[in-house]
Amino acid sequence: MAATAQNTLEPLRAGGDKAKDEDMEEELEYSPFYGIEKGAVLQEARVFNEPHVDPRKCQQVITKLLYLLTQGESFTKSEASDVFFSVTKLFQHKDVHLRRMVYLIIKEIIPSSDEVIIITSSLMKDMNSTNDLYRSNAIRVLCRIIDSQMLLQIERYLKQAVVDKSAVVAGAVLAGAIHLAGANAEVIKRWSNEVQEAINSRHPMVQFQAVALMHGLRANDRLAVSKLVTQLVRSNVRSPMAQCLLVRYVAQVIAESQPGVGNETRPFYDFLESCLRHKSEVVIFEAARAICNMRDVTTRELTPAVTVLQLFLSSSKPVLRFAAVRTLNKVAMSHPMAVTNCNIDMESLIADPNRSIATLAITTLLKTGNESSIDRLLKQIGGFMSEIADEFKVVVVEAIKALCLKFPQKYRGLMNFLSNVLREDGGFEYKKSIVDAILQLIREIPEAKEMGLAQLCEFIEDCEFNFLSVQILHLLGEEGPKTKDPARYIRYIYNRVILENATVRAAALSSLARFGAHCPDLRDRVLQLVRRALYDNDDEVRDRATLYLYQLQRAPQGPESVDPQWRIPAKGLEAALTAYLEQTDTEQPFDLASVPEVAAPSPAKAKAKPQGLAAAVAAGMSAAAAPVTQTDEYAEMLKAVPQLAALGPVFKTCAPVQLTEEETEYKVVCVRHVLEGHLVFQFNCTNTVKEQVLEDVSVTVDLADAEEFSEELVLPLEVMPQEGAGQTYVVLARPPGSMALGRFVNILRFRVKEIDPATGEAEEEGYEDEYQLEDTEVVAADYIKPSFTPNFRAAWDALPEESEMVDDYGIGQRDSLQDAVEAVGRILGMQSCEGTDAVPPNARSHTLLLSGTVVGDVQVLVRLAFGIDAQRNVAMKLAVRSESAEVSEAIHAIIQEA
């Protein structure tokens, strides 16, 4: 059966290079299931009906049937019945091995309820046999094929078997009970005393299955699960497998409970810590993983688990090394400083013969490394990249990108590394990940722009992927004209017009045209190059050349000559043209004014999740490097409303807040938009009651606790939709540039019209009604948005010293410095710089650097120095610099009021 994993259509070759030699036919081995077909196997199954049965031949046929079933082959009802009736005749044979195969095939075929009665008597006879193997296998088959009525008839026998002296029999009935518990839980619960006795069994497998069954019976009752876990923790669970199950159940209870307050330990944490000293390696790892996966885990709680995993890193067993480094990789995403003590051990794993272990070690080191270790890591990775598959290379590239964003001062070495690997062989996904990484670094680190553009120009000289070439050419057209020497990029772009296919040539022309529009000094040279494309053999290239010549020569000068402000979305235009062509009367010309200028935001499509090792390593990387927001989408929605578009650009869109419970009949979500002199409440409303129509929907906002605001405008919603969401807006005015705070009471008002079930139409009159929503609160962080500052020291020195304000604050008792850092970061809502949001383990002091922009586009930088004493009292020194002294005072006021 070892060969069952092979493709049934391909022979199995012997290992080594000799097997690859086509001339050595004797080196070829064939799978016993090569070319197997269901029809032929069913014909072979007739041997079951022969007067003199050949046990060996019958076993081979049953093996083939089992293989077909496990490979997803489906049997018709008549085919399954024929096989079942034929197999039942084999019960008369005394061959032990054949009997075991008969049990397997009956269990997999699962006969219908009217056929089960035929085999039940034979199975019952075997269940009372003196042969333990017959008894255990008969019990397993019965538990798989019987229904609830028959279970009641044999319950007494199964109940007695739970405490049978034979571990094989007891394990069989416990395993069967786990399957039966889904539909017959009440019957199985009557076995509690016997299962409890089985939990105290000395046989590891029996104890393991008894613990699993007891938990399965109580899984839907949180209190019962907690009591079971408490009981098992105090008892002597000797089986390592049962102990692993208990660790998982403890982790589940901890996840559903509140974390300890102050120095108070979590419930059952001491048990998990004691499991770290268990003699079984699998129990030790399970406990360490449970601790690392705890919600809001602290550095103090992580330390013993990380210490144990560090020992596993030097184990001689590859599976232990892989498990440890994979767990540490996940910990490094949220607590990178807690893993730094393992860096030396992980550096030795870079040369591990198992490439999966080496990849995880590299990516973990990239997350936990500091500036001084980056150059050494890059040298080690250099020889490593050529030895791994593209899937793992993508993971390493993502880790390098995240490291570069964390330490922007080291962008030169990291971008040179990306440029070198970009020129090596690799598939499309690998090359695309490198290009995407360089593009993001160009956008996030201004100093890296020219260096990144030069590297991409070199790459497109030999790029074999049209998609990447077009993407890079588009970027050159956008960013190239803004550099100090835009002329240097013209040569690379025009080479693509001469040497590439039509798709790339068209993209290169568009890029050239942008240079001509943005750089007057280069316009004549660009026009000369574009004219040469007028005789191209592709019509798309010729059309673009003609268009750009006209735009650059006759249209208004400047960037808008090539990139006009086109407010009509392509999707909206396509939909309008499609509707126009479907009309029977097309004599009227198409009116461009009928296309809405801004399309309604569409929900983002879910991306395919990475699988396997890539999922384990890359989880959370892209989120940390480039958080995805809907700010631009909401801004377009506001521009589509003329009354709101006149208020000016949106400074910041806050996270949506749900104002109703999930089970209520109306669903309302509030989104706050901060503008220069206004605050816009956008209420997204959905009606979940199909028997009602809600019209003239609006929200009344009470300003009693927000005196600095005044209501300026209310835009009601005509009808609250039952699918999707409709919007009603409330506009509040405030002093321009101010950071007004307040709490708002919200009441949903609407007109209800009942739907006549007979006609399906709403009544004409209706009645007024209202619904109390949750309150909303405007806090100081709403007026501050994070901003990326690659060089904090230079930006700090560039701000005026007279704007600096320094003061000391006492935060009180905290679990750790990390807790204090995260709390202050949430209050201010700013971007941490240079990786200072992670506090080293056991640190007594720490400095946090924050960068943000206050409403009115005022830059503000914050330097926070934390210290913690033996009683865990945290003191903080706050230094603020800004372009405005008033903003510096406002930051201090936020901390004082928090």
Please state, as a whole number, how many other Cβ atoms lie within 10 Å of the Cβ of residue 354. Answer: 14
Note whether 786 and 773 are same-domain residues: no
Alpha helices (H) along 162-239: 167-180, 185-189, 192-199, 204-218, 222-234
Q: Is residue 856 included in any domain, yes or no? A: yes
Q: Is residue 460 included in any domain, yes or no? A: yes
| Helices H / strands E in the chain, number of each | 37, 19
Q: Is residue 887 included in any domain, yes or no? A: yes
Query: Looking at residues 482-499, what average pLDDT do you find?
Result: 87
Q: Which residue has the higher pLDDT, 109 or 242?
A: 242
Domains held by the chain: number: 4
> Tokens at residue 495, please?
């080479």
3-state helix, strand, coil in the chain (%, to 5): 55, 15, 30
d(CA 652, CA 648): 12
The pLDDT of residue 681 is above 90: yes
Position 567 scores a pLDDT of: 60
The pLDDT of residue 24 is above 60: no
Query: Looking at residues 136-164, what average pLDDT do you find?
Result: 84
Query: Looking at residues 275-279, what average pLDDT do you find?
Result: 90
Note whether 542 and 647 are same-domain residues: no
d(CA 176, CA 185): 12
Task: From 459, 429, 456, 424, select the one nearest 442 (Cα to Cα).
Answer: 456
Q: Are 619 and 590 in contact (CB under 8 A)?
A: no
Note whether 660 and 718 are same-domain residues: yes
Task: From 542, 565, 523, 619, select the one nearest 329 (Cα to Cα).
Answer: 619
Note whether 546 and 653 are same-domain residues: no
The pLDDT of residue 494 is above 70: yes
Asked which of 464, 485, 510 is the last residue of a domain, the reply is: 464
Query: Looking at residues 349-366, what average pLDDT do you find?
Result: 84
Q: Is residue 133 included in any domain, yes or no? A: no
Task: From 805, 778, 799, 821, select the one nearest 891 (Cα to Cα).
Answer: 805
Query: Looking at residues 190-213, what average pLDDT do you find?
Result: 88
Most confident of 9-13, 129-133, 172-176: 172-176
pLDDT confidence tier of residue 335, bands split at 50, 70 and 90? confident
Q: Parallel, antiparallel, or unpaired for β 805-813 and 831-832?
A: unpaired
Note whether 541 and 406 are same-domain residues: no
Q: Are 683 and 728 in contact (CB under 8 A)?
A: yes
77-88 vs 96-109: helix crossing angle, rounded to 10: 160
In Å, how far from its chain's centre is CA 823?
25
The pLDDT of residue 150 is above 70: yes
With 0-12 CB in 10 A as exposed, 13-18 as middle and 19+ as buried, what is 295?
Answer: exposed
Task: From 516, 407, 507, select the one nearest 791 (Cα to Cα).
Answer: 407
> Tokens at residue 363, please?
């990516």
Position 622 scores a pLDDT of: 37
Asked which of 439, 464, 489 is the last residue of a domain, the reply is: 464
Q: What is the residue-averaged pLDDT of the chain?
A: 81
Q: Are 272 and 250 in contact (CB under 8 A)?
A: yes
Alpha-carbon Rg for the chain, nearest whole angstrom, is 35
Asked which of 449, 464, 479 is the last residue of a domain, the reply is: 464
pLDDT confidence tier of residue 563, bands split at 50, 70 and 90? low
> What single string gives the DSSP state of each residue in 153-170?
HHHHHHHHHTT-S-HHHH
Model confidence pLDDT, tens digit, residues 60-78: 999 999 888 888 888 888 8
Q: Where is 597: in which H helix or E strand?
A: none
Q: Is residue 207 included in any domain, yes or no? A: no
At 360, which amino acid appears? L
Q: Is residue 85 included in any domain, yes or no? A: no
Model confidence pLDDT, tens digit, residues 224-272: 888 888 888 888 788 889 999 999 998 888 887 765 555 556 778 888 8
Q: Are 310 and 348 in contact (CB under 8 A)?
A: no
Q: Are 867 and 810 in contact (CB under 8 A)?
A: no
User: Cα–Cα distances in Å, from 351 out to 252, 310, 496, 755?
Assistant: 37, 17, 41, 71
The structure tokens 């090359």 sit at 431
Residues 6+ apart with CB under 8 A from 736: 676, 677, 856
Indicate which CATH number applies to the domain containing 519: 1.25.10
Note whether 789 and 882 are same-domain residues: yes
d(CA 877, CA 895): 11
Residues 6+ apart with CB under 8 A from 126: 134, 135, 137, 138
Task: From 221, 142, 153, 206, select the one nearest 179 (Cα to Cα).
Answer: 142
With 0-12 CB in 10 A as exposed, 13-18 as middle and 19+ as buried, what is 644?
Answer: buried
Note whether 638 and 740 are same-domain residues: yes
d(CA 769, CA 765): 13
Q: Where is 831: in which H helix or E strand?
A: strand 831-832
> What single string gives the DSSP state of each residue in 789-838?
-S-HHHHHHHS-GGG-EEEEEEEEE-S-HHHHHHHHHHHHT-EE-TTTTS
Position 792 scores a pLDDT of: 82
Model confidence pLDDT, tens digit, residues 778-816: 888 888 888 877 778 878 888 888 888 888 888 888 878
Q: Parallel, antiparallel, or unpaired for β 710-715 and 726-733?
A: antiparallel
d(CA 873, CA 811): 7
Taken in order 756, 762, 765, 771, the sign of the CA dihedral is positive
The DSSP code for 749 is: E
The pLDDT of residue 172 is above 80: yes
Please state, as a whole number, how many other Cβ atoms lie within 10 Å of the Cβ of residue 579. Answer: 10
Note whether 657 and 772 are same-domain residues: yes
Q: Are 663 and 737 in contact (CB under 8 A)?
A: no
The 3-state DSSP class for residue 710 equals: strand
371-382 vs 355-368: helix crossing angle, rounded to 10: 160
Note whether 641 and 682 are same-domain residues: yes
The structure tokens 């901060």 sit at 674
d(CA 666, CA 833): 42
Position 557 scores a pLDDT of: 62
Note whether 637 and 763 are same-domain residues: yes
pLDDT confidence tier of residue 610, bands split at 50, 70 and 90? very low
Note whether 533 and 413 are same-domain residues: no
Q: Is residue 338 included in any domain, yes or no? A: no
Indicate which CATH number applies to the domain containing 665: 2.60.40.1480
Model confidence pLDDT, tens digit, residues 695-710: 889 999 988 888 888 8
Give me the domain span that covers residue 703: 629-778
pLDDT confidence tier of residue 680, bands split at 50, 70 and 90? very high
Note whether 453 and 499 are same-domain residues: no
Residues found in the chain: 898
Q: Is residue 888 included in any domain, yes or no? A: yes
Position 629 scores a pLDDT of: 42
Indicate which CATH number applies to the domain containing 885: 3.30.310.10
d(CA 633, CA 641): 13
d(CA 621, CA 610): 12
Percent of the chain with pLDDT over 90: 7
> Tokens at residue 585, please?
């009367």
